[in-house]
Amino acid sequence: MSRREKLREKMRSSPGNIRFSEVDALLRYEGFVVFNKRGSHRTYHHPDGRLITIVVPHGSRKTCNPADIRKVLQVLGK
C-alpha cells in the first residue's frame, strides 16, 4: 500500500485527525497546484478544471476541519 493510499484511508476513517501538510502533500501528488493564497485559505487547481479551497488551521488547532477533508475526498473521487 502506497503512502497516497494510506493517506486516503486515514482521511476516510478519521477525518478529524488530518494535518494540513498531509492534505497539501496528497493534493500535490494528485496533480493540484496552489492557485490562490488568501489569508488562511488555500485554493488548489487541477489541469482538468477541478478547484478546491481548504482552510489552513491556525492557533492551537493542528488539524483540518473534517468538512474540508470530506470535500477533498469528494474532489478526488473516492
Cα(50)–Cα(39) distance, integer angstroms: 21
Q: Which domain holds residue 15?
A: 3-76
Distance of CA 44 to the CA centre of its chain: 9
Provide the number of structural domains found in the chain: 1
Q: What is the CATH number of the domain that holds 54?
A: 3.30.920.30
Per-residue pLDDT for the chain (78 aa), expressed as one digit of tens each?
Answer: 888 899 999 999 998 899 999 999 999 999 999 988 889 999 999 999 999 999 999 888 889 999 999 999 999 985
pTM of the model: 0.88
Q: How many residues are given for the chain?
A: 78
Cβ-based neighbours of 49, under 8 Å, separated by 6 or more: none
